[in-house]
Amino acid sequence: MRASHPVPTFAVTMLTLLLAIAFGVPPVNTVIIVVAVFANQIAIGLSNDIVDVGRDRRAGRTDKPLVTGALPLSTAWAVVAVATMLSVVLSVLVDPLVGVFQVVFLVSGFAYNAGLKATVWSAIPYATGFAALPALVSLSAQPPRWPDGWVMLVAAGLGVSAHFANVLPDGDSDRVEGIRGLPQRLPAAVTATLLVSITTLSAAVVIAQGSLGALWVTVPAGVGAVVVSITAALQVNRTPATAWPFRLSMMAAGLLVLALIGALS
């Protein structure tokens, strides 16, 4: 579990559950799809640590089980394979189209880990993977239904925001190791500005698309997300460096998710 990036794994799994409730997915399908996405995140997170094990050893990351040897590489590969198959099989059992979008989510994560994270295209897997999430959840409803385009757009924005926020704490070390994704190629202030812009655009879309009855949720949550995102941006390049830009960015994402669920409910 420690090697599978537990915090984002938990966050994405909870987002899946909330989306399932908002889309009115039946309880049985909800359980299946939540477990499938959980397995998806285990596979993606653990494969990331497998690919990065050499870099993590050079960086002295003793918090990583693969680095310390607490988790053998052979076991890690086996868990990735089983989790991947479990995720796809469970999704197909719900609906073949759910399986298709689950594969899109998985391939996006694996493509990022395999090399796209070190290129200017590093944000694309986050956008495609997170855009696929509301589709695979809404297609689990009875009868299956497609999510509105704006929902997939906001989800894609959440994914890109998460990618940019992840770079804020360790962008310098990534550059030293040759990991030059899109946010690493940009000055930290520019990355922070893009985070605020994406959050603002997403909040505006959610508020505009939500019903009048949802304004009591979408407006405070959306505006709160923008304010917290701006606060995070103002913390960038502070001396000494702190983890607050990342923490605040994650808080902004959480508020945006609340606004999205409110708009869908």
Give the residue ranges of the chain where pLDDT is below 70. Answer: 169-179, 239-241
Residue 77 Cα distances to 91, 113, 155, 204, angstroms:
21, 14, 29, 42
Provide the pLDDT for residue 230: 93
Domain boundaries, the chain: 1-147, 170-265
- Retrieve residue 75's tokens: 């076991």
CA dihedral 101, 265, 200, 255 (to 10 degrees): -100
**Rounded mean pLDDT of the chain?**
91
Q: How far is CA 228 from the centre of its chain?
A: 19
**Residues 15-62: pLDDT tens digits?**
999 999 999 999 999 999 999 999 999 999 999 999 988 888 887 788
At the second CATH level, the architecture of 1-147 is Orthogonal Bundle (1.10)
Contacts 24+ apart (CB under 8 A), 69-73: 71/3
Which amino acid, 102?
Q
| Nearest alpha-carbon partner for 18 in 5, 33, 40, 7 | 33
Look at residue 181 in the predicted model and tell me its pLDDT.
Answer: 86
**CA–CA separation, 207 and 262 (whole Å):** 9
Write down the pTM of the prediction: 0.91
In contact, 33 and 40? CB cutoff 8 Å = no
CA within 13 Å, CB half, 50 = 21
At 197 the pLDDT is: 95
Predicted local distance difference test score (pLDDT) of residue 5: 86
